[in-house]
Amino acid sequence: MKKLLIFLFSAAFIVSGGMAQSTSALYQEANKVFQTYRYKVSYESFRLHRFQQGDKEVLELVIVINSRRNNFDEAMLVGFAASGAAITNTGTKVDLVNVVVKVQYKDAVSISAIADAPDVIALYENKLAANAFMAKVIFH
């Protein structure tokens, strides 16, 4: 029994460590794009979220970006493009990308959108126009 507990603890540690490594690599690649467009996104605003959807396990990349009220749409598009760069350059198998833009107005307002990873990659690689990509995005 003790060996089983040690094995399970070790396996959980390895899996969570791998997730942290993937998140770090994704963040570093995406941050290159964010810096190009002068967006500051912290590592804490970047995470991988794994969940069950029916019988399939889904890996979702969640990014939170702070923006001014006049350019939240640009921040969202840059978030998706940066995600595409990160997924492409690291080879991480992400299923969904969720970009949350926090807009500072009188109160903080959040705008969230989810897109399939293949569409995000196509946007990054210029195989999908920005307007066609935005038509496929699901807003919340």
Note the pLDDT tens digit of each residue in 12-41. Answer: 433 433 455 578 889 999 999 999 999 999
Q: What is the pLDDT of residues 105-127, one digit of tens each?
A: 778 789 999 999 999 999 999 99
Q: Which residue has the higher pLDDT, 51 or 3?
A: 51
- Beta-carbon contacts of 31 under 8 Å, excluding residues fewer than 6 positions away, are 41, 82
CA distance 118 to 123: 9
CA distance 94 to 34: 19
Q: What is the pLDDT of residues 57-93, one digit of tens each?
A: 999 999 999 998 788 899 999 999 999 999 999 999 9
**Residue 107's pLDDT is what?**
81
Question: HSE on the CB side for 30, CA within 13 Å?
Answer: 35
Q: What is the pLDDT of residues 57-66, one digit of tens each?
A: 999 999 999 9
